[in-house]
């Protein structure tokens, strides 16, 4: 598997490989202008679960794509900045900052055209080199304050 700057080989440790999978997810799916669902087929386990969503939320790559569509519709020029990443064994914790332009309804706020940046921490467990479980915490309060014009995005 090629990650752009690395070729994943047997010589990489499991933790380094897992970090690269998450980096590729952020770069080639979340930050990509076309948000190609084909990338998800490579990176997301068919039985992947998101513990941050409703327990009845569907599993797998198509569910991940569906969950992101509302976000991508609400924020154009969406990109992800990885600020820090820690991995041990089959788990990767990534501190990210999302950037975008508020171009559609989000959290009950109609499009404002404001440039926003908000933070997120993900914990992901990988199985067979693919994303299998996901937990996250999103700074929704900080984002909502930006959408309302109370503070500027960074």
pLDDT at 3: 52
pLDDT at 76: 96
Mean pLDDT across the stretch 77-101?
Answer: 97
How far is it, in rounded angstroms, from Cα 27 to Cα 13?
21
Q: What is the pLDDT of residues 18-52, one digit of tens each?
A: 999 999 999 999 999 999 999 999 999 999 999 98
How far is it, in rounded angstroms, from Cα 18 to Cα 130?
8
What share of residues in the chain are helix, strand, coil (percent, to 5)?
Answer: 30, 40, 30
Closest CA to 24 of 130, 116, 117: 130
Q: What is the pLDDT of residues 53-72, one digit of tens each?
A: 777 778 899 989 988 999 99
Domains of the chain plus CATH, in order, are 14-147 (3.10.450.50)
User: Does residue 75 have a pLDDT over 70?
Assistant: yes
User: Does residue 1 have a pLDDT over 50?
Assistant: no
| 87 close to 125: Cβ distance less than 8 angstroms | no
When computed from its CA atoms, the radius of gyration of the chain, rounded to whole angstroms, is 16
* Mean pLDDT over each residue of the chain, to the nearest integer: 90
1-8 LR contacts (CB < 8 Å, sep 24+): 1/42, 1/129, 4/28
């Amino acid at each position: 598997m090629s990650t752009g700057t690395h070729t994943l080989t047997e010589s990489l440790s499991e933790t380094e490989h897992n970090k690269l999978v998450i980096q590729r997810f952020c770069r080639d799916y979340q930050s990509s202008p076309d948000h190609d669902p084909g990338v998800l087929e490579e990176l997301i386990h068919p039985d992947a679960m998101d513990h941050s969503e409703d327990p009845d939320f569907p599993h797998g790559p198509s569910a991940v794509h569906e969950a992101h569509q509302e976000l991508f519709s609400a924020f154009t020029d969406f990109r992800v900045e990885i600020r820090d990443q820690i991995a041990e064994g089959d788990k990767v914790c990534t501190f990210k900052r999302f950037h975008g332009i508020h171009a559609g309804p989000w959290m009950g706020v109609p499009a404002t055209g404001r440039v926003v940046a908000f933070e997120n921490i993900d914990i992901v467990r990988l199985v067979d080199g693919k994303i299998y479980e996901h937990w996250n915490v999103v700074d929704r309060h900080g984002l909502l304050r930006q959408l309302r014009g109370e503070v500027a995005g960074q």
